[in-house]
Amino acid sequence: MPQNIDGKLEYSEREKEYMAFLKNPYLEDLLVKEIQKQVVRETDTIKTILLCANGRLVENASKTSFNLIINSSSGAGKDWITEHTLEIIPKKDWVKRTRISEMVFTYWHNPKYEPEWTWDGKIFYNEDINNSVLNSDVFKVMSSTGSTATVLVKQKPIDIEIRGTPVMILTTESASPSREITRRFSIVNLDETIDQSSAIMDKKLELAKTGEKLEYEQEFTKALELLQRVKVKIPFADMIKKVIPLNKASHILMRTHIERFLDFIKASCAFYQFQRKLDTDGYYLAQPEDYDNARIALQKITSNPFMIPLTKTEQKIIDTIKGLPQGRYSAKDLEKYVTFVTDRTLLRKLKKIVGYGLLKIDSEYREDVKRYVIVYEYEPFINIRIPKYEELLKNDNCDANDIIDNCDKVVAERQNCHNCHDILQPTTDNKEKISTNTLPDNDKPSSDYDLDKELKKIEKLKDKPTDVVKETPEEKANWETI
């Protein structure tokens, strides 16, 4: 835990309360419950957005690990969820725009006029980004590193430095990210089920009946202002390779994804910095709980065993082909089933999905057209559930790559191993519900734990005095154990 904040040796009563709040082991659960005043369900989506947003607090992370695209149909609530999740974060840490041009980052916050400005430690949120901006060269570079642009001003070349790189969180319905952008962004799809729509309607009807207007407690945001940018180490990093699957189509992508998973762990540690140990080198040390928090986000952005980011449309195409009778289909055959995109878009998406290794491609002679045509075939794959940290320790022999490389052999050898079966399920159906608990089983809240009671502690802060006082040893012991 930090010994001081910004070099301070004494704190106001209110600051001490905020620090006590940041030491609450159920900190993330408290924030999620607060956000769900405005957002119905979508717990894993909220946690994933929060984790990526907390990436701004990590100094030693990849520039692209926390970039996120929230992809859903119009009206599904992607901007509502994203904005209301970010609203709990200090306003100084994030910037929202509803529309930007392809070249905006070249001129925005020019260091000539804003010498102290940097994008490091900031979040850039763009609502409903269009395809041309998303796949532009300037945006591609900006989403991975700061840069220096050279532009012509009155026929003279002028260098403009772009300082720092923000965490980018975007929403889109129809944009189609290129493979280069896919490497730089994770993709989250929302719950578009009838059950979710019913829950949203119930919430709106309830608020209309009671006339209640739900507002966030500002004390949450004020407490989060105490979090600083930090460096993180992961003592158990060498154990993680076994949960990262490899195959010929995806092994290059895995170089990015293993770094992303490690950085997710660092982001959780940075968020819980008031509850983590500091080593002699000035690094905060990640704990198993951080692995489990990162696991939830990784599961959320993963729709296939190779962790390849897919848009909602790409996933829907795969699901459509998967639901057809087993066989090989040409693009022309698929047009009558895939009715939600144009024929041209279907061809482009099929090529992309084949490139990811999620569809087989071949050619066969068709008598009706008297020529060879390209055909596609769905290849069933195994859905791999990333193990919790406790399971990882118990099952040293459970390796995702064994499953990918030799499915039948591994299933046969391990069919009597209950724990392995739970971790790596040999099934082509994705019916398993992934746990959203961020804590190991032995750390679950007791039956008398009440989030509402924890929230009331925050409400008391409104009337606290702001005078600065020196803490006594008794006081320090009191708030450090809350």
Render pLDDT for 400-419 as a digit per residue (tens, 0 to 9). Answer: 544 434 433 433 343 343 33
Taking the C-alpha atoms of residue 150 and residue 163, their distance in angstroms, rounded to an integer, is 14
Give the strand pairing for 468-469 and 11-12: antiparallel
Q: Which amino acid is at 199?
A: A
Write the CA distances from 374 to 263, 334, 362, integer angstroms. 40, 12, 6
Beta strands in 312-378 (DSSP E): 329-330, 359-366, 371-378
Q: What angle do CA 106, 125, 296 make, to 5 degrees?
A: 130
- CB contact at 8 A, 128 and 79: yes
Q: In this structure, are residues 29 and 144 in contact, taking their beta carbons and an 8 Å threshold?
A: no
Q: How buried is residue 434: exposed, middle or buried, by Cβ count under 10 Å (0-12/13-18/19+)?
A: middle
Q: Amino acid letter at 372?
A: Y
Give the alpha-carbon dihedral of 286, 291, 292, 295, to 10 degrees: 150
Go through the domains of the chain in sequence order and give each one's CATH number. 31-202 (3.40.50.300), 312-378 (1.10.10.10)
Q: pLDDT tens, 105-121? A: 877 888 878 888 899 99
3-state DSSP call for residue 438? coil
Helix or strand holding residue 5 (H, E) = none
> Could you give the count of Cα atoms lying within 13 Å of 42 in the half-sphere of its Cβ?
32
pLDDT for 393 equals: 80
Per-residue model confidence (pLDDT) at position 441: 41
pLDDT at residue 58 above 80? yes
- CB of 292 closer than 8 Å to CB of 388: yes
Element (H, E) at 236: none
Mean pLDDT computed over 370-394: 82
The pTM for the full model equals: 0.75
pLDDT for the residue 223: 96
pLDDT (tens digit per residue) in 260-301:
999 999 999 999 999 999 999 999 999 999 999 999 999 898
Give the pair of three-digit tokens for residue 14: 């209110």
Specify the pLDDT at position 68.
96
Which helix (H) or strand (E) segment holds residue 171: the answer is strand 167-172
pLDDT score for 466? 43
Nearest-angstrom CA–CA distance, 52 and 68: 7
DSSP code, position 39: S
Q: Does 465 or 176 have the greater pLDDT score?
A: 176
